[in-house]
Amino acid sequence: MAVAVRADAGYGRSFPIPGEDFEVAAEISLEDAFRGTQVALNLAVPVYDEQGRVRREGRAFEARIPKGATNGQRLRLRGQGGKGHNGGRDGDLYLNISLHRHPLYRVDGHDLYIDLPLAPWEAALGATVEVPTLAGPVNLKVAPGTSSGQHLRLAKRGLPRPGDAGNEGDLFAIASIATPPTLTERETALFTELSENSTFLPRKHFNEEISHAN
Amino acid sequence: MQTNNAGLLWLDDAHQVSIHELIEHSGLNTDDIYELVDSGVLHPINVADTPWTFSAACVVTVRRATRLRNELELDPHALALALSLMDQIRALESELSILRAQRVTYR
- Summarised one tens digit per residue, pLDDT across range A140-199 is 999 999 999 999 999 999 999 987 777 899 999 999 999 999 999 999 999 999 999 999
Q: What is the pLDDT of residue B106?
A: 62
Q: What is the pLDDT of residue A168?
A: 93
- Is B14 touching A (CB cutoff 8 A)? yes
A to B CB pairs, distance under 8 Å: 79
Q: Block means of pLDDT (10 residues each) for chain B, length 107 residues? A: 63 92 88 90 87 93 91 88 92 90 75
For residue A35, the distance in angstroms to the closest alpha carbon of chain B comes to 16
Of all residues in chain B, the one with the smallest CA distance to A104 is: B105
Q: What is the pLDDT of residues A22-63, one digit of tens each?
A: 889 999 999 999 999 999 988 887 777 777 788 888 888 888
pTM: 0.82
What is the arithmetic mean of pLDDT over A103-110? 94
Helix (H) / strand (E) element for B100: namely: helix B76-102
Cβ neighbors of A176 (< 8 A, separation 6 or more) are A115, A116, A117, A118, A148, A149, B104, B106
ipTM above 0.85, yes or no: no
Helix (H) / strand (E) element for A120: namely: helix A120-125
- Say yes or no for a CB contact (<8 Å) between A8 and B67: yes
Residue type, A69: A
CA atoms within 13 A on the CB side of A194: 11
- Say yes or no for a CB contact (<8 Å) between B27 and A115: no
DSSP 8-state symbol, A156:
T
- Is B5 touching A (CB cutoff 8 A)? no
- List CB contacts (< 8 A) between A117 and chain B: 107
Suggest the residue from B104, B106, B107 to mutate for an interface test with chain A (most A CBs closer than 10 A): B104
Torsions phi, psi for B35 (to 5 deg): -65, -40
Suggest the residue from A76, A102, A159 to mutate for an interface test with chain B (most B CBs closer than 10 A): A76
Of all residues in chain B, the one with the smallest CA distance to A162 is: B10
- List CB contacts (< 8 A) between B57 and chain A: 74
Q: What is the pLDDT of residue A89?
A: 83
DSSP 8-state symbol, A111:
E
DSSP 8-state symbol, A152:
E
Suggest the residue from B2, B5, B10, B70 to mutate for an interface test with chain A (most A CBs closer than 10 A): B10
Of all residues in chain A, the one with the smallest CA distance to B91 is: A72
pLDDT, greater one: A80 or A11: A80
Interface of A to B at Cβ within 8 Å reads: 8, 10-12, 21, 23, 64, 66, 68, 71-80, 92, 94, 106-108, 111-113, 115, 117, 148-149, 151, 161-163, 172, 174, 176, 178
Nearest in space to B11 (alpha carbons), one of A193, B2, B20, B19 = B2
DSSP 8-state symbol, B46:
T
- List CB contacts (< 8 A) between A10 and chain B: 25-27, 63, 66
Q: What is the pLDDT of residues B6-32, one digit of tens each?
A: 689 999 988 999 999 999 888 888 998
Beta-bridge partner residues of A7: A22
Interface of B with A in 40-69 (CB under 8 A): 57, 59-60, 63, 66-67
Q: What is the pLDDT of residues A52-106, one digit of tens each?
A: 788 888 888 888 999 989 999 999 998 888 888 888 888 899 999 999 999 999 9
For residue A214, the distance in angstroms to the closest alpha carbon of chain B comes to 32
- Say yes or no for a CB contact (<8 Å) between B7 and A80: yes
* Separation between Cα atoms, residue B94 and residue A72, nearest integer Å: 9
- Say yes or no for a CB contact (<8 Å) between B25 and A92: yes
